[in-house]
Amino acid sequence: MPVTVKTVDGLELEAERADPDGSPWAGVVLLHPLPPNGGTMHSLLISTLFAALPPLGIAALRINFRGVEGSDGAFDDGHSECLDAAAAVDALHASLAADVPVVLAGWSFGADVALSTSAPDIAGRIAIAPPLAFARHLEASAQDPHRKLVILAEHDEFRSPASVMPTTERWPATEVDVVGGASHFFVGRSDRVTDLVVAFLRKHWPPVWM
């Protein structure tokens, strides 16, 4: 379902929302890869998660960052995009029951934004193949006590797992999984990413029926 997300600096962002048939037990905001390289909310892995989560009882909201397709504004190299992510978290949280956690998840550039964004209603963070090149105030967000999942690709073309782990191993409440045989784009491995995301959510915010 198309929706509009409004940022604190007055922009309107193009977004889409998908809900489960019943009451959601969790919500996830999905952030896409680098806009100058063609990243949008319809990028492959984001689309895979957006389709897979609602049937499992998880509300999903994906946005186009500022300057992308129908969203106002212009690309800001990961700075103001944190305002976009925070606005999406606020919008999804406000529409759910107060006790439903909202997790911020991103892939590639979106992963860096997810790790950099501050918002009071973020219950946890999921960073998929973060390049750690666009992260802003990374240590402040990464050192927060909320649960974090970092998913790395064994054969990432842009940032190897070995170069990311020395940073992530210093973060509290952080789990790291390396997807074997995967490239940065997780072609043929997207189901494994979905499994890891859902397992992380169920582990830390289990639905009442589990």
The answer to whether residue 188 sits within a structural domain is yes
The closest alpha carbon to 89, from 67, 120, 50, 58, belongs to: 120
The answer to whether residue 165 sits within a structural domain is yes
Into how many domains does the chain fold?
Answer: 1
**Spatial distance between the Cα atoms of 69 and 72, rounded to a whole number of angstroms:** 9
**Spatial distance between the Cα atoms of 93 and 5, rounded to a whole number of angstroms:** 12
The predicted structure's pLDDT at residue 208: 76
The answer to whether residue 210 sits within a structural domain is no
**Spatial distance between the Cα atoms of 142 and 156, rounded to a whole number of angstroms:** 21
The answer to whether residue 100 sits within a structural domain is yes
Which structural domain, as residue segments, surrounds residue 190?
A: 2-204
The answer to whether residue 44 sits within a structural domain is yes
The answer to whether residue 209 sits within a structural domain is no
CA-to-CA separations, 62 to 40, 72, 107, 121, 141, in angstroms, rounded: 9, 15, 12, 17, 21
The predicted structure's pLDDT at residue 209: 64
**Spatial distance between the Cα atoms of 156 and 86, rounded to a whole number of angstroms:** 28
The answer to whether residue 15 sits within a structural domain is yes
Residue 73, classed as helix, strand or coil, is coil
What phi and psi values does residue 146 have, to the nearest 5 degrees? -70, 150
Place of tokens 């860096």: 112
**Spatial distance between the Cα atoms of 51 and 7, rounded to a whole number of angstroms:** 25
- pLDDT tens, position by position, for the chain (210 residues)? 999 999 999 999 999 999 999 999 999 999 999 999 999 999 999 999 999 999 999 999 999 999 999 999 999 999 999 999 999 999 999 999 999 999 999 999 999 999 999 999 999 999 999 999 998 877 777 788 899 999 999 999 999 999 999 999 989 999 999 999 999 999 999 999 999 999 999 999 999 765
Q: What is the CATH number of the domain that holds 162?
A: 3.40.50.1820
> What's the gap between Cα 66 and its chain centre?
16
The answer to whether residue 79 sits within a structural domain is yes
